[in-house]
Amino acid sequence: MKFWEALLLLFFLSEVLSQNKRNPKPNVRTPAQNRKGASSSGEAGRSLSAEEVPPVALPPVENVLVSQLRSPSQAPHPVLKSVDDMKLCFLRNTSVTCNDGTTAGYYLREAKGNKFWIIFLEGGWCCYNRETCDARYKNIRRLMSSSEWPQTKRGTGILSAHLDENPHWWNANTVFVPYCSSDVWSGTQPKGRHEYAFMGSLIIREVIKDLVPKGIKQAKVVMLAGTSAGGTGVLLNIDRVAALLEELEAEAVQVRGLVDSGWFLDVKPSRQADCVDATSCTPTDAIKKGLRLWNAILPEKCKQQFKKGDEWHCFFGHKLYSSLRSPLFVVQWLFDEEQLRIENIQLGIQTLMENQWNHIRNLGREMKNSLRDVAAVFAPACLSHTLITKSNWMDFQVKSVSLPRALHCWERRFQESAKTLKTPLRSCPFHLIDSCQWPHCNPTCPAVHDHTTGQEVNVKQTLLRMGLDLQKKAQELKVDPGNPMGMFRNGG
């Protein structure tokens, strides 16, 4: 009986193998390879047809069967590696390092044939002396060392490889540069005799150089993007990246910047004579201290506007913007939670005093004023921080226009005219600032959460916690006092 069972099993295997040879393997192609007619700028928004959807690559049938026959309990499950993931690459120049001396690097998802590149700088504030850097290394080591970085990373928002989440740039060449220099991407200081290295600006330079064999010199557009400290890093490095590509004989590449939540305001110095930790230092305090430690390199044209010792002004977008040559799109919540946190105002966990409420209102007004002359901007009147990498980034609107649409309009400006246009194309706006005057007056704002409990706080509760008299405000704005929530409208 055993003889016949073995004979039958061999016959079954031979049939499977011969069938596999007769049927050629499917031609597996990525979405970027399928779309031969895609725009070189990466702005293709159409859906894939059924014929263009790439089949999932499975292990050969015979390998799975043989492993199951050998030991059914140990048969491996098919491991499907996603083409959505960005793969970790370490810099070839190993002397350019993270804070702790480990080699810096980047994550890359290639799109062969596509000439649109997004290079994204991660955020994470900074450290500016031995104490703050030691605490940062102890508590958030991934922001100072590459030793525990995963081999792959999946992008979200504008870094997503999914058409429904990222309709215009889902198939762009995407580069994610982890933040491990703690210097707002400005430093040039090697480890040497110092406890830590601060080489953020040099990391950006080396990433660009490492991407040359990947085809970045043949790009049509390189968009340097970043959130929070990464957004400030875009402001500080955008012209330097453009100059480097020119040095590399890639003069045809158009370099643009996308700054998300990195447009900080230089508030009044803290009351303390010397701030002692990260929570008690304003952005101005921290930058002043860090400049020397990091051996920071700043845009030369901006530095020339200030006397020696006042170069710290160049870290703030409203003071740096006019001196930059490269085009920029600024994304900024009018009531940035990180700016408020740095100033020791945290929503949801405290009842705000009148002076704190006035400070929040003033922040919104000052932020609007600082963005008034920015050519391309998306500024919702919301309490939040960072936007472009949120998976729901398409949900937020200003004057009924979403951020992806505004960015796409900005892109069209460059495509449709080689001349500099001072006004947006008809029906395609990209200068969008909410006109209402208090936090969360835009109905598309993201939810606010209590920082201690994690529970969501709705808009009305948030404003009541701030001490805002909704009835009084409704009367001032001549809306129905019986329905004060009617004053929330898109675009103010």
Residues involved in catalysis: 228, 336, 385
In this structure, how many other beta carbons lie within 10 angstroms of the beta carbon of residue 91? 20
Strands (DSSP E) found in 365-488: 376-379, 383-384, 397-398, 401-402, 431-433, 448-449, 456-457
345 within 8 A of 391, measured Cβ to Cβ: no
Ramachandran sector of residue 478 (left: φ over 0; alpha: ψ -120 to 50; beta: rest): left
Q: How many CA atoms lie within 13 A of 395 on its CB side?
A: 11
Dist. CA 119–CA 289, nearest whole Å = 28
Nearby residues of 244 by Cβ (< 8 Å), 6 or more positions away: 205, 208, 209
Helix, strand, coil percentages, rounded to 5, for the chain? 35, 15, 50
Instruction: Show the tokens assigned to 431.
Output: 């200068």
CA 355 to chain centroid, in Å, comes to 33
Tell the residue number behind the tokens 């919540």, with chain if given.
333
406 within 8 A of 371, measured Cβ to Cβ: no
184 within 8 A of 200, measured Cβ to Cβ: yes
Instruction: Please work out, in degrees rounded to the nearest 5, the angle formed at the alpha carbon of residue 97 by the alpha carbons of 91 and 100.
Output: 140
465 within 8 A of 351, measured Cβ to Cβ: yes
445 within 8 A of 384, measured Cβ to Cβ: yes
Residue 186 phi/psi, 5-degree rounding, is: -120, -15
Strands (DSSP E) found in 278-344: 328-331, 335-336
Strands (DSSP E) found in 95-172: 105-109, 116-121, 152-154
**Considering Cα of 46, then 52, then 56, then 57, what sign does the dihedral take?**
negative
C-alpha distances (whole Å) from 249 to each of 258, 316, 425 are 23, 31, 32
CA 59 to chain centroid, in Å, comes to 35
Beta bridge partners of 86: 153
68 three-state secondary structure: helix
198 within 8 A of 182, measured Cβ to Cβ: yes
